[in-house]
Structure 1
Amino acid sequence: MDFRFSTEEEAFRTEVQEFLKSELKPGWDDRFDTESELGAMEQGDFAKQFNKKLAERGWIALPWPKEYGGLGATVMQQVVFNEAMAYTGAPTGFNMGVAWVGPSLMIYGTDEQKREFLPKITNLEHIWCTLYSEPASGSDLAALQTRAVRDGDEWVINGQKIWTSGAHRSNWGWLAARTDPNAPKHKGISMFLVPMDSPGIEIRPLVNMAGQHGFNEVFFEDVRIPANYLVGQENQGWYQLAVALDFERSSIAGSARGRRVWERLVEFAKNDGQFVGAKPQIRHRLVETGIEIDIAKYLSYRVASLQQAGKIPNYEATIAKLYSSELGQRLARTGIEMLGIYGQLHPKSKHAQLKGSMERYYQLSVAETIAGGTSEVMRGVAAIRGLGLPRG
């Protein structure tokens, strides 16, 4: 592919960067974690107001058709936008509906569902969470046991989900539930649209080791939803789930965030850490991680080019996610080793280097190789889809 961006795309990049300069004043991020999407979701009213301004510009879902609140932009314009947002750490953690629900609805939803739900994703009336993982299934999403049983004009849902990002801030959920317990595990799953204020739903917080409340447990006890909240064909939800995850795994944000962290480390080595920057092993590590960040970026560009061509990025998206998330851990280790004990200090410590960003980045990098599919699962998917190897 041609890695050069068009004149229009570069002009759009400039427009986005100017917008960010005007909205995110120097020091805006001192109060927040900007190293992860979880941190962005915890920025409260500031993030909500920022995202409303994006919605007013039609930037929440750029490639979507205009009738659904988008601008009909190209996939590469979306890449330009996502890179700029992730590089600055802008609070865009309200976009799960854009990343997962919207693409699936456009492919599998009824015309009524598209009219009802898509515009409310882009105007932020609906904030979405994804209800996938369960305590007993681990990384094997297809082993989920939450049940949805048809009862007349309704579906009745019972079960439990875990590690649900942003459930406490969402008013709608994108649910994977088992509708045929006798079918093979990949063939008895269906996808549903669930109002999160439905009677019978209980949300319990999970606080991670970085002190953030981004995750939750969600319990369903005889939760009833209308029959027309089923999306696509009954028992075919696994394929919709896979499509949604492939859209999630383009991973351009990971390389852009990594670029920002890497640049801070290089600047530290040049200035505050002159003694550190003179060490050959540190110099070599910085060069190597800089190269790896470029590789991660171009893997993501490859995914975007497939999307722009109207193709579903199957194993390519998996590879991009795997490489980007593991690179984050390598970069985090490099940073912690460079800064020594000062790199391990909390952002609130007066002795913390780089405002404590490495301590946060190091902890959060662990989650990146788990969320959205563990590295082990990603390797398995790439082996099956990319190399054509049999399931193990």
Structure 2
Amino acid sequence: MDIRFTPEEQAFREEVRAFLRAELPEALAARIREGKRLNKQDQVFWMRKLSARGWLAPGWPVEHGGTGWNSVQKQIFEEECFAAGAPRALPFGLNMVAPVIMKFGSEQQKAHYLPRILDCQDWWCQGYSEPGAGSDLASLKTRAVRDGEHYVVNGQKTWTTLAQHADWMFCLVRTDPQAQAQRGISFLLIDMNSPGITVRPIITLDGEHEVNEVFLDNVRVPVANLLGRENEGWTCAKYLLTYERTGIARTGESKALLRRLKIIAAREQRNGRPLLEDPLFRSQVAELEIQLMANEMSNLRLLATVRDGGVPGAESSILKIKGTELRQALTWQISKALGSYAVPHLEDELGYAEATPLHEDGASAFTRYLDTRKASIYGGTNEIQKNIIAKMILEL
């Protein structure tokens, strides 16, 4: 799969490749390729490398420290980073709360928070979902009661990604319990070191500690940390979700997975011939490649809209659905290509202190397969995205 680029765009691709060759340690790239979870130090190390080059925030306006890249350059940068095995810059500060601060924040909030995000001083997490408010986010019950110059916050958030490392959380809270649904919600910026915050791990299907429960017990948050107007936080929330769902498409990662699938299928044998020569398997790979190309074109169109001053709309829900489904399908196809080598080895049950992979791709393939199961749930389930498309685009 290839898209024709101008000589200038090809030159930019070479510039990105040269940067990655010079700055990305092979040991770090190997951890990505092997499907291993990175620690906070690994993430911060790479994000600071990007920040020093001025490449950490491609989606930001130039006046706030963005790159000024067009949509094609952003796509090239993403592709090359995934191809090289570079860590993905964490989106919570850069691509989620930062655009909301730029849009709805005061000048003081912009001056304080944006440089700290760009310099990797603050690690952010997202306080949206609750045990009874996932897809139906507007039913959230976490309360914030005004007490002088503070809000007193009580409630629980769940599935909070990397909250164990976070310095700050952008959080939806109910400030008017009498208002209907979305109308009584506010958007608060909460210091995770505040007294009354407890973070408890949730261990996911792949055995990793990535998500958490966050309990807020009489947490005092300065009124100055309110983003936008009180009781109008749903406007901020919707604005943020369009950026989150656009980023979830992750076409660069899918293209890297497709390349990996082709390499494995060309090497693995079926009846004495490469698996990629099997007509059925080859047609399945071709179908995935066609879908990926279509999704990439749609993503570029949406990025062009943002470049020209627009805001991602309901179309981002299409990218979210197809992007997550493609990653799930690609990791499943890789696992199929590896066959029994992709079967997990449960070291606790087998009595081993550490699992020994039976195949160089086996462990990482199955880890990625398990990890992508959640992709169609987070950021708003794909079922909810279909409802948005039906209502906002098809007007049904």
TM-score normalised by structure 1 residue count: 0.91
- Cα 1:247–1:87, aligned 2, differ >3 Å: closer, same or farther? farther
Q: For the Cα contact (< 8 Å) 2:201–2:209, is it kept in 1?
A: yes
> 1:275: how far off?
4.2
Match of 1:118 in 2: 114
Which range moved further: 50-59 or 73-82? 73-82
Match of 2:363 in 1: 356
Match of 2:379 in 1: 372
Match of 1:278 in 2: 277
- Cα 1:64–1:259, aligned 2, differ >3 Å: closer, same or farther? closer
Structure 1 CA distance, aligned partners of 2:369 and 2:65?
Answer: 37
> 1:4: how far off?
5.8
> 1:172: how far off?
0.8
Q: Report the identity percentage.
A: 36
Is 1:304 the counterpart of 2:300? The answer is no
- Cα 1:23–1:356, aligned 2, differ >3 Å: closer, same or farther? farther
State the secondary structure of the residue aligned to 2:159.
coil
Structure 2 CA distance, aligned partners of 1:293 and 1:194?
Answer: 38
Structure 2 CA distance, aligned partners of 1:178 and 1:211?
Answer: 33
Match of 2:11 in 1: 11
Structure 2 CA distance, aligned partners of 1:204 and 1:335?
Answer: 33
Structure 2 CA distance, aligned partners of 1:6 and 1:113?
Answer: 40
Is 1:166 the counterpart of 2:162? The answer is yes
Which range moved further: 83-92 or 363-372? 83-92
- Cα 1:303–1:66, aligned 2, differ >3 Å: closer, same or farther? closer
> Which residue of 27, 31, 43 corresponds with 2:39?
43
5 Å-filtered alignment, 1:206-221, equals 206-221=202-217
- Cα 1:7–1:33, aligned 2, differ >3 Å: closer, same or farther? closer
Q: For the Cα contact (< 8 Å) 1:109–1:231, is it kept in 2?
A: yes
- Cα 1:314–1:326, aligned 2, differ >3 Å: closer, same or farther? same
> Which residue of 128, 134, 139 corresponds with 2:124?
128
Is 1:21 the counterpart of 2:21? The answer is yes
Q: Deviations over 1:40-97 (max 9, x none)?
A: 6x33323221211111112111343455333344444333323332343422343411
> 1:382: how far off?
1.0
Q: Which amino acid aligns with 1:80?
A: I
Structure 2 CA distance, aligned partners of 1:29 and 1:345?
Answer: 23
> Which residue of 94, 98, 101 corresponds with 1:102?
98
Structure 2 CA distance, aligned partners of 1:260 and 1:303?
Answer: 21
Q: Deviations over 1:273-321 (max 9, x none)?
A: 3442332111111111111111221121122111112111211111001
> Which residue of 382, 389, 395 corresponds with 1:388?
395
Q: Which amino acid aligns with 1:163?
A: W
Is 1:55 the counterpart of 2:78? The answer is no
- Cα 1:261–1:300, aligned 2, differ >3 Å: closer, same or farther? same
Structure 2 CA distance, aligned partners of 1:307 and 1:341?
Answer: 45
Q: For the Cα contact (< 8 Å) 1:159–1:219, is it kept in 2?
A: yes
- Cα 1:221–1:331, aligned 2, differ >3 Å: closer, same or farther? same
Match of 2:342 in 1: 343
> 1:195: how far off?
0.6
State the secondary structure of the residue aligned to 1:155.
strand
Is 1:290 the counterpart of 2:289? The answer is yes
Which range moved further: 108-117 or 256-265? 256-265
> Which residue of 130, 138, 146 corresponds with 2:134?
138
Structure 2 CA distance, aligned partners of 1:260 and 1:382?
Answer: 28
Match of 1:148 in 2: 144
State the secondary structure of the residue aligned to 1:250.
helix
Q: For the Cα contact (< 8 Å) 1:120–1:126, is it kept in 2?
A: yes
State the secondary structure of the residue aligned to 2:377.
coil
5 Å-filtered alignment, 1:223-242, equals 223-242=219-238
Q: For the Cα contact (< 8 Å) 2:28–2:42, is it kept in 1?
A: no
Structure 1 CA distance, aligned partners of 2:203 and 2:8?
Answer: 43
Match of 1:92 in 2: 88
> 1:343: how far off?
2.0
Q: For the Cα contact (< 8 Å) 1:180–1:235, is it kept in 2?
A: yes
Match of 1:182 in 2: 178
> 1:373: how far off?
1.1
State the secondary structure of the residue aligned to 1:372.
coil
- Cα 1:298–1:252, aligned 2, differ >3 Å: closer, same or farther? farther
Q: For the Cα contact (< 8 Å) 2:56–2:89, is it kept in 1?
A: no
> Which residue of 189, 194, 208 corresponds with 1:193?
189
The answer for unaligned runs of 5 or more in structure 2 is 346-353
> 1:181: how far off?
1.1
Structure 2 CA distance, aligned partners of 1:278 and 1:248?
Answer: 38
Structure 2 CA distance, aligned partners of 1:231 and 1:6?
Answer: 41
Structure 1 CA distance, aligned partners of 2:33 and 2:190?
Answer: 30
TM-score normalised by structure 2 residue count: 0.90
Q: How many residues align?
A: 383
> 1:104: how far off?
0.5
Match of 1:333 in 2: 332
Q: Which amino acid aligns with 1:302?
A: R
Q: For the Cα contact (< 8 Å) 2:187–2:228, is it kept in 1?
A: yes
